[in-house]
Amino acid sequence: MRLKHYIQDEIINESINDKGILHACFMAGMSGSGKSYVISKISDGAIQPKIINTDKMVEFLKAFKNTDWPNIADKVKISTKKQLVLYLNSLLPLWVDGTSSNPSAVMKRNGILKSVGYDTSLIWIDTSLEQAIQRAKSRHEEGGREVIEIEIRKMYKELQGLKSYYASDFQNFTEILNDEDELIDQTILSAYKKMRSFFNSPLKNPIGIKNVNKLKKSGGKYLIDLPKYNMGYLNKLVNNWYIW
């Protein structure tokens, strides 16, 4: 499968009337905290947000060429940017997956999403340093990208002071404990209910409401169907999204 076909196949022909459009949830936490696992457990089958991260594209590219991260980094960055442009243009619901150890990058991305009409939320995945290190090692042994232990320790220290910051800045903030034996059914169910409520909730962002009403009136489906937007504008937003 060619890369451009892979990206195009990821875009579902969404309707402007579908639930979940213009809703995005950030996933914050350590590498090895289990963010992808939590997403799989709390996702609502009726609404399937697209996942924004680099790991998914890394695995796709590795399937075609057995190489290491430095050799494929540029392709991953370019491909991930193109994918995000398509998602934003289609107003798709999103999971924004990352460590969120850089608060300025998170707030910039949050601002970009809000500027085109998204409602946003954040889930904080908490885990101990020991669990994060062990999970990172296990993931690498299974073929995933290696994360050096010293980097994990540095990241863990940086993240400790950010939880209260994100809790105050995101109106929709949920914390999930995902240490050993803590991610029990009750915890998952509680988080699932909150995320289902968020993705199913009526749009509150006035920019999004205005854009959706205009699209419904004109019969359009995509942001570029509106006078303010074009692919050049969306590409500029996405270039500002990534801080590598």
> What residue ranges do the domains of the chain occupy?
3-241
Percent of the chain with pLDDT over 70: 75
Inform me whether the pLDDT recorded for 192 exceeds 60: yes
* Chain centroid, CA 213 distance in Å: 26
Q: How far apart are CA 242 and CA 108, in angstroms?
A: 9
Q: Which runs of E-coded beta strand occur in the chain?
A: 23-29, 50-52, 94-97, 119-126, 173-177
- Whole-number pLDDT of residue 4: 44
- Whole-number pLDDT of residue 118: 97
- Whole-number pLDDT of residue 99: 62
- Whole-number pLDDT of residue 7: 42
Mean of the pLDDT values across residues 175-194?
72
Percent of the chain with pLDDT over 90: 30
* Chain centroid, CA 127 distance in Å: 19
pLDDT averaged over the chain?
79
- Whole-number pLDDT of residue 1: 40
| Lowest-confidence segment of 18-22, 51-55, 128-132 by average pLDDT | 51-55
Architecture of domain 3-241: 3-Layer(aba) Sandwich (3.40)
What pTM did the predictor assign? 0.78
- The secondary element (H helix, E strand) that includes residue 42 is helix 35-42
| Lowest-confidence segment of 87-91, 102-106, 114-118 by average pLDDT | 102-106
